[in-house]
Amino acid sequence: MEHLELTILGASSAIPLTNRYPSSQFLTLASRHFLIDCGEGTQVRLRANNIGFSRIDRIFISHLHGDHFFGLAPLLSTLHLLDRQKELHIYSPKGLKEAIQQQMKLQGSWLKYPVIFHNLQTDSFQNIYEDERVTVHSFPLKHSIDCFGFWFREKEKPRKMLKSAIEKYNIPPAEIRQIKNGKDWTDEDGNIIPNQELTTDPSSPLSYAYCTDTAPIDELQDYLHAPDLLYHEATFMEEHRKRAVQTNHSTARDAAQMALNVNAKQLMIGHFSVRYHDLDPLLEEARSVFPNTLLAGEGTTYALHPSRKKLKLIER
Residue 57: per-residue pLDDT: 97
| Residue 296 amino acid letter | A
| 110 compared with 220, residue with greater pLDDT | 220
Angle, CA 91 vertex, CA 89 and CA 105 arms, to 5°: 70
Catalytic one of 37, 67, 146, 254: 67
Percent pLDDT > 90 in the chain is: 74
Confidence of residue 199 (pLDDT cuts 50, 70, 90): confident
Residue 198: per-residue pLDDT: 83
Confidence of residue 308 (pLDDT cuts 50, 70, 90): very low
Q: What is the pTM of this model?
A: 0.89
67 is catalytic: yes
- Of 150, 87, 92, 98, nearest to 119 (Cα)? 92
Task: Kindly list the structural domains of the chain, giving each domain's residue range(s) and its CATH number in brackets, ordered by start.
Answer: 4-157+205-315 (3.60.15.10), 166-199 (no CATH)
Q: State how far the Cα of 98 lies from the Cα of 234, in Å rounded to an integer.
A: 31
Average pLDDT over the chain reads 92
Q: What is the pLDDT of residues 133-153, one digit of tens each?
A: 999 999 999 999 999 999 999
Q: State how far the Cα of 163 lies from the Cα of 8, in Å rounded to an integer.
A: 39
Residue 149: per-residue pLDDT: 98
Residue 1: per-residue pLDDT: 45
| 4 compared with 173, residue with greater pLDDT | 4
- Of 24, 7, 116, nearest to 71 (Cα)? 24
Residue 59: per-residue pLDDT: 98
Residue 160: per-residue pLDDT: 79
Residue 23: per-residue pLDDT: 97
CB 68 within 8 A of CB 43: no
Q: What is the pLDDT of residues 43-67, one digit of tens each?
A: 999 999 999 999 999 999 999 999 9
Q: What is the pLDDT of residues 91-126, one digit of tens each?
A: 999 999 999 999 999 988 789 999 999 999 888 899
Q: For the chain, what is the largest distance between any 2 Cα atoms, rounded to a whole number of angstroms?
A: 75
Residue 200: per-residue pLDDT: 82
Q: Is 18 left (phi over 0), alpha (psi -120 to 50) or beta?
A: alpha
Q: Annotate the chain with DSSP letters as a single string.
A: ---EEEEEEE-B-SS--SS--BSEEEEEETTEEEEEEE-TTHHHHHHHTT--GGG--EEE---SSHHHHTTHHHHHHHHHHTT--S-EEEEESTTHHHHHHHHHHHTT---SS-EEEEEPPTTS-EEEEE-SSEEEEEEE--SSS--EEEEEEEPPPPPEEPHHHHHHHT--HHHHHHHHTT--EE-TTSPEEPGGGTEEPPPPP-EEEEE-S----TTHHHH-SS-SEEEEE--B-GGGHHHHHHHT--BHHHHHHHHHHTT-S-EEEE-B-TT-S--HHHHHHHHTT-SSEEE--TT-EEEEE--SS--EEEE-
Residue 293, pLDDT > 60, answer: yes
Residue 164, pLDDT > 80, answer: yes
**C-alpha pair distances (Å), 279 with each of 9, 72, 110, 261:** 17, 28, 42, 24
CB 264 within 8 A of CB 205: no
Residue 309: per-residue pLDDT: 41
